[in-house]
Each structure stands twice: as C-alpha cells, then as structure tokens.
C-alpha cells in the first residue's frame, strides 16, 4: 500500500473486517480464564499464544517478501525498527497488561474496561496527532464510564481483592492499545497491513517467548499438560492470528477511529461466553452497567459521525 492510500469511512468491507476481528478478539479472555483455572502463569500463557502465532507470521512475512519486490523495496532499517517497536507496544506490552489484569477481574469486566479504548483513540488523536477534538463525545464517555463504575461498585462489595490492581492493569492495556492504533495506521499506510502485522507480531512474539524463557526456563514447556497447549493453540489462532489481520485490514481501510467504533460486538460476545462457559454471574448491576457502556459507545459513534459530516 502506498503512502497516498487514504482510509475511507464508507467501506463496508473494512467495517466487516473490523467487526469480525473484534468478535474473535473477544474470545481471548475466555480462553485465558480457562487456562488460569489450570494454574498456568500469565507469562507462560502469553508465550504459548505467541509460539502458536509466530510461525504463521514468519511464513506469511517470507512469502510476502519473496513474491513482492515492491514489498522488499518498502523496507528500510527505519521502517522495520519503527514497525517492530509499534508491534511491541500493541501486541506485547498491551497484551501482557491484559493477561495480568485477568488474574484479578472477571472476563466480562475486563472486556468492558478494554471497551473504553476508543475514547483514548480520540484523546491521543487530539493530543499527539493533530486531530480535531469532537466535544460532543464527552457525554458518551461519561455514560460509558458510569456503567463501568456500576459494575466496579458491585465487584467492590462482592469480590474486592485485587479489583483495583486488575482494573488499572486492564485500563493500561486499553491505553497502550489506543496509542498503538494511531501508530499502526501510519505504518500500514507506508508498508501495508499484511507486512506491518507480520513484522509487529513477530517481534512481539519473540519478546513474549523470551520473557517466559527468562522467568520459567525452557524446561517449563515440557511439564505442561495437553489442555494448556490446547488453550495456547486457541489463543494463538482464534485470539491472535485471525483477529490481528482482520483488525489491521479494517484499520487500513477505514482508519483508527472508525475501527474503534466497531468494538461494541466484543463485550456482548464475551458476556455470553463468560456466563455460559465460565459460569460468571450476570446480575442486574451487570445489566445496567453493560447497557450504559454500550449506550455510551452508540452515542460516541453517532457524535463522531455527526462531527465528520459537519466538518465535510
């Protein structure tokens, strides 16, 4: 993709990619919780996810470079290093914070906290990337955070241990992922979604695997039961490879802000699976909080679209 390619907000295929990616990403918390039930560490589980994903990205990367002289010509040391750094931010640091947070909070709550990242996308766009502030989104942000406070308050009375730490870790994941979206979009406009995804994810995978090798040692993999490897396979394929390509393809076509607005499907899918698979409670407080978070997202999207129409 050349630098002249500009994302379009009216691209059904781009929205389709983004929605599919959001839905698949939403299964991640379910698999992580199931694996934590078997006693696996965050570092080990993240490394298993990347062990499964890394060969896929490397094969695709080599194939892209072999078949496309244009792709090879796009790569220079600066482009490669920047893509690697952005990949570490979005796929290693953000993911690790999320994995750590899921040690303390439910899958439903984790997904709702992550769901606030579009607000940070807007704020970072204004603060760092020259975007115009859309003040009409502020009420939507307040509504969504009000919903989070409802569920936070319920958890605080029922299961307060680790709640604040877990919330801050997942919120940190949302913040770093929002920043990643802006930086990734700019890299994809230079080298394309596929090439960037392979470079970024491969680098993040090496970081995650290396971390676990330092923490637990190579022998730790030999002691894992088959079910843990199965969870790692599911995380690698369904929670990493497929959604990362889908989300990045959508982002390259419709931009970071529009991609972030499709995330509403994630919490709904997570809630359904969390209740059915993990037997997590879903009380009246969860219903009210979830409704407020989703309502805030809808208001946010409408305010964004209205502002874009007015600004032409």
In the chain, domain spans:
12-133+161-276
Q: How large is the average pLDDT for residues 247-272?
A: 75
Asked whether the whole model's pTM tops 0.75, one would answer yes
Measured between alpha carbons, how far apart are the two ends of the chain, in Å?
Answer: 25
Question: What digits encode the pLDDT tens for the residues 175-232?
Answer: 999 999 889 988 988 888 888 989 998 999 999 999 999 999 999 999 899 999 999 9
Question: What digits encode the pLDDT tens for the residues 162-174?
Answer: 999 999 999 999 9
Contacts 24+ apart (CB under 8 A), 271-275: 271/108, 271/111, 273/26, 273/27, 273/30, 273/107, 274/29, 274/30, 274/33, 274/106, 274/107, 274/108, 275/108
Percent of the chain surpassing pLDDT 90: 39
Task: Please say if the pLDDT value at position 5 is more than 70.
Answer: no
Per-residue pLDDT at 2: 41
Task: Please say if the pLDDT value at position 3 is more than 50.
Answer: no
**DSSP single-letter state for residue 282:** -
Per-residue pLDDT at 16: 84
């Amino acid at each position: 993709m050349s630098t002249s390619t500009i994302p379009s907000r009216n691209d059904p295929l781009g929205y389709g990619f983004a929605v599919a990616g959001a839905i698949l990403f939403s299964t991640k918390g379910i698999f992580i919780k199931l694996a934590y039930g078997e006693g696996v560490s965050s570092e080990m589980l993240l490394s298993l996810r990347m062990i499964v994903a890394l060969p896929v990205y490397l094969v695709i990367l080599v194939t892209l470079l072999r078949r496309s002289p244009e792709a090879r010509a796009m790569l220079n040391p600066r482009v490669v290093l920047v893509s690697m750094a952005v990949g570490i931010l979005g796929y290693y640091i953000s993911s690790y914070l999320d994995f750590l947070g899921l040690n303390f909070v439910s899958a439903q709550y984790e997904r709702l906290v992550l769901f606030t990242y579009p607000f940070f996308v807007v704020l970072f766009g204004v603060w760092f990337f020259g975007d115009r502030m859309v003040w009409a989104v502020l009420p939507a942000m307040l509504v969504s955070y009000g919903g989070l406070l409802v569920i936070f308050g319920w958890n605080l009375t029922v299961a307060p241990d680790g709640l604040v730490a877990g919330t801050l870790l997942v919120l940190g994941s949302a913040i770093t992922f929002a920043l990643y979206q802006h930086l990734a979009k700019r890299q994809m406009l230079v080298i394309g979604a596929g090439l960037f995804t392979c470079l970024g994810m491969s680098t993040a995978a090496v970081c995650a695997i290396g971390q676990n090798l330092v923490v637990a040692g190579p022998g730790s993999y030999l002691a894992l039961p088959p079910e843990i490897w199965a969870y790692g396979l599911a995380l690698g394929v369904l929670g990493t490879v497929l959604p990362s390509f889908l989300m990045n393809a959508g982002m390259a076509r419709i931009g970071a802000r529009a991609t972030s607005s499709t995330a509403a499907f994630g919490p709904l899918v997570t809630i359904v699976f969390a209740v059915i698979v993990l037997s997590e409670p879903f009380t009246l407080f969860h219903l009210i909080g979830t409704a407020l978070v989703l309502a805030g997202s809808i208001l946010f999207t409408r305010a964004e679209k209205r502002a874009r129409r007015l600004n032409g």
